[in-house]
Amino acid sequence: MDGQKFADNPQLKPSVVLTGTAKQGSAGPPVGLVDVGESDGAYLFRVALPGLRKDQCKIKCEIQRDGRVHIEGVMTGVGILKDSSAVYQMKVQQLCPPGPFTISFSLPGPVDPRLFSPSFRPDGILEVVVMKHRIIPPGELP
């Protein structure tokens, strides 16, 4: 959106004007963007789940030995927001609509699905570290 184009005609002014780096992205935060990192012994992945709150959602994350990851959950979007002193009826909604979702992707290699550490951060990012599958040669101690 070009805010200057609408400045001359007040009837066409948008409710939100984006400039700078915000103008390069989409209007709402995307759900399901995935970053994957790798170390010698583990993979780390981060999944964007904006709009989810740790205390009001259930997320299921399954990791298979071949590195496939399946995340399931439910977005609990509401049209009315309440805080301690007021009730707000939402007029614009650009976050992900409410309802169930699934996100699936593959890590670069096999993993040990028993050895993973999930963390749901306050900023709506699911961060998981999972250990790589390691074959121990005969005669070598783990």
pLDDT (tens digit, 9 = 90+) per residue, 4-21? 444 455 554 445 555 665
pLDDT (tens digit, 9 = 90+) per residue, 119-131? 998 888 999 999 9
| CATH top-level class of 30-132 | mainly beta
* Average pLDDT of the chain, as a whole number: 76
pLDDT (tens digit, 9 = 90+) per residue, 17-46? 556 655 555 555 677 889 999 999 999 999
Residue 116: which of 67, 74, 57 has the closest Cα? Answer: 67
Beta strands in the chain (DSSP E): 34-38, 42-48, 60-63, 68-75, 80-82, 87-89, 99-106, 111-120, 125-132
Domain locations in the chain as residue ranges: 30-132
